Each structure stands twice: as structure tokens, then as C-alpha cells.
Structure 1
Amino acid sequence: MCYILSHIQKRKVLVVMASNPINEDGTKRSLQNRHVQMIAIGGTIGTGLFLGAGNSIAKTGPSIIIVYAVLGMFFFLMMRAIGEMLYASPEEHTFVAFIAKYLGMGPGVFAAWTYWLGLIFVAMAELTAISTYVQYWFPTWNTSLIQIVFLLVLGSVNLIAAKMFGEAEFWFAMIKIIAIIALIAVGLMMIFTGFKDASGVQASFGNIFHHFQMFPHGMNAFIAAFPMVFFAFQGIEFVSITIGETKNPRKVLPKAVNQTIYRILIFYIGAMVIIMSINPWQEINPAQSPFVQVFKLAGLPAAAAVINFVVLTSAASALNSAIFSAGRHLYTSAMESEAAALKPFRHVSKTGVPSGGIFLSVALMFVSPIISALPQITSAFEFVTSASSDLCILVYALAILAHRQYKKSQDFLSDGFLMPAYKITSPATIIFFAVIFISLFFNPGSVIPAVGAIIWCIGFGGSVWLRYRKPAEVPAK
């Protein structure tokens, strides 16, 4: 009976949400389907594709397609698990809230603060990238000043209203999509017209398999590509954070999550196939964007400038999403805590955004311009940024564990947006995340951040466990 009443109550809440654009906490459901779809795409596409693809191909050759396909499948399964919980409780502002709800306060607090700090450092890294891209055109401009301007502009965009963030992200994502579609279209034209480069190599799908080697630089290089591509996909979960401020969430959510796999196939794998068809994988310069190489071959002399503009908008998009997400995560953590120190971050502005959470998140991001002015600590900054990114693996794994507990709870909707074959795919996804973390040790550049992530888990995770552990039961006499 309680189970039935719970479902009836949830459906009543959803009817109210569909007719009322304002949540009970004051946040507004002003994001539309087109915003959510573009945010999902924008979260999937980053500088890892535009700039890092050449390095990935150089290390693994055509087998990089396998890496992207495998990671794409498991990220899709993770999103289906998160999507199932959000479909049942679309009033939640972040998927991390489910970790506390179904695994307990200890894991929830650990995941919330770990993910929030990770977002802060991701934003700082994107700020550093933005200043580098702007200096491509204006090399004499001050790095710190560039970062301050971008942070003030995008911070203001996030403070105005969720719809303003959605509009900004819509156009940021549109630029990236146009660039990828242009690459695929130009590449197909070059292939079907028999284009030949200066050395006489003809564009052909056969270039992918010419002198094919599964592990051209050894098994270790192949395994090391997995964490590299994993971080390229990181941010795909941002779409889940928009659901709490989306109109008709149950209508929008399944489309946004299900279409993720198609975006991965088209934008990542499709781009890789075209790039290796135009440029044989053995000849790709890992230090240069493969997009630039293809457009230059097609006769676009301004290719470098155009792609620089695209990666600039890509970095700005990632920063925009990180600000949005960090503000919501801090707000959720403050609402779930009774600590008086977090009370200011429970505030929702008249425009329906968690302004307190956004203010503090943006304020911490201002550390990035300071770091840029102190080159002697740049390596330490990169270490902390990489370590925080590594911790996302743990947060993702905790989200899957929370989903398994959700299945056993009264919240479970048997007719909801179900994760396919979860009894098999759920443990497989958790195991896969564990394998990804182990694979970090196959890449010399990732060893130190991985160790740092372990130290964070033991230090912060241990303190949280001691604070929130259940008191031992006194044996009956």
C-alpha cells in the first residue's frame, strides 16, 4: 500500500512540475528541450576531440575507434542508470544527491565535495586554456586579465537565469557541431572525389586499414589511451544536472540520454574515421589538431585560426557548464547539511538560480588567474587538476552503486526509464571504471595524479567515514 501511495504522490508532484515552472525551493524550470539537447552534446564534445585526437591516433592507430566505442558504451550505460533515478525523482538538482539518498550520508558527502572540487579545478583548467587560445591572436595580452574577463562574463550569465545559461550553451554547442559536421562533409567530398595530397596519397576509407596494427606502439600504449579518452568524455553527465530546471523533465530526459550514443558515434567515431581516411594514421602529427590538418589539405589556409576559434568556444562552453554545475552542487550540499556555515549557499535569487553556490564557486575559480601569474607552481596546479579529474571515476562508480540500491527502494518505478539489463550491465560498468583507474598506472603522466586520488580517498574519505559511520550496536545481554 505504501508503495502505491508513493507512486501516486510522485505522479502528483510531476503534474504540478509540468504546470508550474517554479520548484518548491524557488529555482525555475526555464530550460527547454533544445537547451537540454545541446547541453548534452556540449558536455560530450571538448578540446579532447579537437586538439587531443591527433595524439590519441598517433599512439593507438585505427584501434582508437575501438577505445571510443567501448568507452561510449559504458558512459551510455552510466547515463541510463543516472537517468532512471532522475526519471523517478526529477526534482533533484544533481545526480550526486542520489548517492547520499541510497548509500548514506558518508558516501554522499564524500561524493558531493569531491565532485564539486573537481568541477572547480576543471573550470580553472579551462580558464587557462581560454587564455592560451586568446593569445593566439593577441600574444601580448595579459593571461590573468583574459581569465578574469571570461570568468566575470560567464559567471554573470549563470547568475542572471538558468535560461540565459541554456542559451549561451546552446550557441557554444552549435559552433562545435558545425565544425564537426563541416569536417565530416569536407572529408567525404575529398574521399569520393579521389583527392590526393602533395605526396600522392589518395583519400580513401582504405587508409584506415592500410598496414593495420591493433597495437602499433604496444599493448601499454593501447591501454593508456583508455584514461585519455575517458577524460574526453568527462562532462557527459552535465545533462543530468539540467533536469532539475527543465520543463517536462520526464519527456526531455529519455531523449537526451538515449541520443547520447548517436552523438558519440557521429561526432567522435565519425570524425576519427574521416581524419584517418584523409591522413593515413602513420602520418598524423600528434602535436597539431587533426582538424587543422584536414582543412589545410582541403585548401583552407585559415584552418588554424578557425579551429582555434572553435576550441576557444569549446573551452568557454566547458567553463560555462562547470560554473552551472558547481553552483548547483554546492547548493544541494548546503541544503542537505545542517551546518550553519553553509546557510548562505542555500539562497536562491529572484531569478531562480542558487546565487550563493555560484558566487563561492566563481570566487574559488579566481585562483586560476593568480596561478597563471605564478609560473613556479604551474606543475602543482596541473597535478591537482588531474587528480580531481581522476576522482570523477570514483563518483561515477558510486552513482552506479546508488542506482543498485534505488532498485531495492520504494522509489523504484517498474514502468520508468529503466537501465537495460541492469543485473549484467550495472556490475560490468562498475568493474570497467575500476579497470580505467588501474589503467592510469600504464601512463607515466597519470601515475602521480592517480596516487593523489588514492591519498584523497584515504584522507578525506576516511574522515567522512569516521564522522558519519553508524554507532556500533551494543550486544544484547
Structure 2
Amino acid sequence: MQKTQITENEDGTRRSLSNRNVQMIAIGGTIGTGLFLGSGTTISKTGPSILLVYLVLGIFFFLMMRAIGEMLYSDPSQHTFVAFITKYLGPTVGHFTGWTYWLGMSFCAMAEITAISTYVQFWFPNIPAWIIQLTFLGVLAGVNLIAAKIFGEAEFWFALIKIFAILALIVTGIFMITSHSVTPVGHASMQNIFHNFSMFPHGTLSFVSAFPMVFFAFQGIEFVSITIGEATTPHKIIKKAVNETLLKILVFYFGALIVIMGIIPWTHLNADSSPFVQVFKLAGFPAAAALINFVVLTSASSSLNSFIFSAGRHLYQIADELQEDSWMHQHVAKISKNGVPAAAITLSAIFLLVTPLMSLTSATSSVFTIVSGSSNDMYIIVYALAMIAHRKYRESNDFLEDGFKMPWYNFTSPLTIGFFAIIFITLFFIPQDIIGAVGAIIWTVVFGGITYLHQRSLVSVDIN
């Protein structure tokens, strides 16, 4: 009987995710194609000063996670951090945030599905993209429907492959740099990083535009908070996961970027090719392209796996907060016998079927560009609202003086909110991001207005 009390929540979900599962879910959700493929583009924009961009964004994401972690520590029974937005900012803002975040995750998941088909076609170019997308979506949705523990184990091994690839790059790079290996573009050396160093080698605008790109690379780190409701020892895991996960991610990012720029002077790096492939080829590994293609395939699969997990929990949260007589509350706010929100996971996966349908009518690369570019702005809004909810938590009776407190709150909280606002503003200086930024404003005004009016009507009905 004691075992049941420890492993099962009141709503039927089960606390089956261990610390290693939670850590890997956070790492797996953050380290992805942005590093393996996109880092060449970010390095080409800013040169070695890209390290500063990663450091600054890493610090602010850490502060955001400490704010979310503090609220979860006070009430680890919540499945998502959006529950705290509802609790402290009201049902209108909570409902708006829940749907906004779910939609943002869905866009990101669509981007990963599109990328997966591209990676598989590297080996099997004759298989239609929509068949590949349906297959991976079906398998990973099935993994999520079985049990949270199965999802956690799948994510653990997905993330482990990525970590091994990064460690292999770092070890290879250290050997080449310490032995001053000769390459077609010179010698591998740490001097390649600092030689003729310039903070803004391509101008201030290129440096500023790197921030949204790296912001996108860090998206998903909040997945660690979404797993706490199903973690075995939540209070212990919250502290450990939040404090250690970002440090590990920064070590992997910094280690990889330093090695890449140490082996290949940033001015000679091919922005259109994976830096990992370029380094391994210089090290004499001819199958580098196939290896990295396998890694990014598992990386995209890992991200899709996490997005399905998270989207299911958020849709469940949305349905659970609706009126009891609503269709969604009656049919979606349900936990299956396996201890997972099966209906919410299934509906989220069905929505993602838009991707293979789009692949039938347009180029895969175009689909990827559309859906990945739409997600950034959604996340900025949600992250800012989470920080504002944390400020309300601090003013509430729920505040734990001896809890897992955000460091230097009076200074770091408004600074983090201001930083997210600056990131959003920078989107208007980047031509390819303007449409998404304007779309986010329209979404906020229109959907936010509809949500507000709907909540007002519900209150009026209750009063009458």
C-alpha cells in the first residue's frame, strides 16, 4: 500500500520518472539541431563572440528556471508551470497561456517531424516524406501512451546518443588542438579563437540577430518542470535538475563551440554545413556525414518525443481547468489505466497530422521554415507570463521563506522579464522574423481578447 501512495498521484498519474530521466529529458529537449546543424550559422554571424551570446542567454534561462522551480517546489503536484499562471494571474491569462504554449509546442513538433523526414531521406530518398512523418509520429505517440516511465527511458537513450556525439567532438578537438594538427585552413589551435578578435565582426545587427537564434536553441529547457508532477522524489529532483541541467548544457555548448572554432577558424567555417561534419572530416573520419545525420535524426526524434509528452500534459491541464460540463473536461481531462493523459496525448498527435498533409502540397524545407519560425514568439510570451506569475507567487500566502528561492529576486526577476521583452523587440530588426513577431502580437490581441470576453460571459452566467 505504501508503494502505491508514493508512486501514484490523486488524479491517477504515476510518479515513475527518476532523476536521471528528468535530467536527460531537459538536456534532450534543449540540445538539438540548433547545435548540430545551426551552430555554423550563428558562428558565422558573430565569430567567437557567440560564446558571450550563449552565456548571457544561459544565465537568463537559469534565472527563469529558478523562478519556475521555486513555484514547483511549493506545490510539486502541478503537472505544468502554466497551472501557476492560472493560479496567480487568473483563469483568463491561464487559459490564454495554456493554448498559446500548446500551439507553440505543436509548431515546434511540426518542425521536428519535417526535419526527421529530411534526415531519413538522406539514406532513403525515394520514400515519401509523409510516410516517414506518419511512421515516426505514430511510434512516438505510442511510446507516450504506454507509460511515463517508457517515455522517460526512450528519452534517456535518445539524449545519451547526442551527449556521446558532443563528447566525441570535444575529445577529438582536444587531441587535434593539443597536437596542433594541420588542416587545409591552417593549424588547430586555441589561437584561432582569439586571433583578430572582434566583438561585432559583421556589425551590431548581426550580433543582435544571433540572440533570437540562440534563444530558439535553448527552448525546451522548461520541459524539466513538466516532468516534476510525475517524478519519484519531486523536491529533491527539482533542486538537482534545475541547478545542474543548465550547467551541463552550457558545458556541452561551450565545449563544442570552442573546439569547433579552435580547429576551424570561424572565418573559414562553412555556414551551410554542420560544423560537426566538418570537424570529423578534418579528423579523417569519412563517414562523418552519415554519423551526424544519425545523431540529428535521434535528436529530432528526442525533441518530438518530449514535445508530445509536454503537449499532452498541457492539453490535459487546459481541459481540467474548464467547466465540468464542457466537452473537453469530460473527455480530455482523463487519465488512462496506464497513468497517462491518453486522450490529450492522442488529440495533440492528431493535430500534428497537419505536417504530413502539408508535405503533400509543398516543399519540406518550406514547411520547416514556416513552422519553426512561428514558434519563437509564442515562447517569449509564455516565459514572460511565467515570470510575472512568479512575482505574484512571492506576494501570496503560498510563498515559502525556506523554499527553493530564486537568487537575488528583487534584482533578477525584473531583469529577466525586461530581457525577454528585449528579445521580442529584436525580432523586428531581423527581416525573416518580422512576420512572426507581428503574428504573435495579433494572436495576443485577438485570442487574448476572445478569451477575456469568454471568461467575462462565464462569470456573468454564474452571477445570474
Q: Quote the residue 1:268 is aligned against.
A: 253
Q: Which residue of 2 aligns with 1:148?
A: 134
Residue aligning to 1:222: 207
Question: What's 1:42 paired with?
Answer: 28
**Ranges in structure 2 where 5+ consecutive residues have no aligned partner:** 460-464
Give the SS at the match of 2:56.
helix
1:309 paired with 2:309, answer no
Q: CA deviation at 1:237?
A: 0.4
Indicate the residue corresponding to 2:58 in structure 1: 72
Match of 1:251, SS state, is helix
1:77-121 deviation line (CA, Å, top 9, x unaligned): 000000000011000000111000001111101100000111111
C-alpha distance in structure 2 between counterparts of 1:151 and 1:68, whole Å: 31
- Give runs of aligned pairs for residues 159-170 of structure 1, distance below 5 A: 159-170=145-156
Instruction: Check the 8 A contact 1:121/1:385 in 2, yes or no.
Output: yes
Instruction: Write the mapping of 1:22-421 to structure 2, written as runs, cut at 5 A.
Output: 22-199=8-185, 201-338=186-323, 340-342=326-328, 343-375=330-362, 379=366, 382-421=369-408
Call closer, same or farther: CA 1:383–1:462 in 2, change over 3 Å: farther
Deviation at 1:408, TM superposition (A): 1.1
Other-structure match for 1:428: 415
CA distance in 2, matches of 1:385, 1:324: 19
Taking a change above 3 Å as real, the CA distance of residues 24 and 397 of structure 1, as seen in their structure-2 partners, is same
Deviation track 1:109-148 (CA, whole Å, cap 9, x = no partner) reads 1100000111111111110000000000000011100000
- Describe the SS at the equivalent of 2:84: helix
Residue-by-residue CA offset, 1:376-423 (whole Å, 9 max, x unaligned): 797577445422331110000000000000011111111111100111
The runs of 4+ residues in structure 1 deviating greater than 6 Å are: none
Contact 2:13 2:340 (C-alpha < 8 Å) held by counterparts: yes
CA contact (8 A) 1:41 1:260 kept: yes
Whether the 8 Å CA contact 2:46–2:201 is kept in 1: the answer is: yes
Q: For residue 24 of structure 2, what is the amino acid of its counterpart?
A: M
Kept after mapping to 2: 8 A contact 1:28/1:245: yes
Stretch deviating more after TM superposition (226-235 or 259-268): 259-268
Structure-1-length-normalised TM-score: 0.93
Structure 2 residue matching 1:407: 3-state secondary structure: helix
Q: 1:335 to 1:28 in 2, by over 3 A?
A: same
Shift in Å at residue 202 of structure 1? Answer: 1.1
Aligned partner of 1:439 in structure 2 is 426
Task: Work out whether residues 114 and 367 of structure 2, in 8 Å CA contact, stay in contact via their aligned partners in 1.
Answer: no
Report SS of the residue matched to 2:262.
Answer: helix
Summarize deviations over 1:245-297 as a string: whole Å, max 9, x none.
01010011111000123113211111111110000010000000001111001
Q: Distance in 1 between matches of 2:266 and 2:5?
A: 54
Letter of the 1:183 counterpart: L
Provide structure 1 residue ranges, at least 5 long, that are not aligned to the other structure.
1-15, 473-477
Whether the 8 Å contact between 2:110 and 2:368 is mirrored in structure 1 is: no
Q: 1:471 to 1:130 in 2, by over 3 A?
A: closer
* Further displaced range: 335-344 or 411-420: 335-344
Higher deviation after alignment, 376-385 or 166-175? 376-385
Could you say what the CA RMSD is over the residues aligned between the two structures, in angstroms? 1.8
Aligned residues: 457
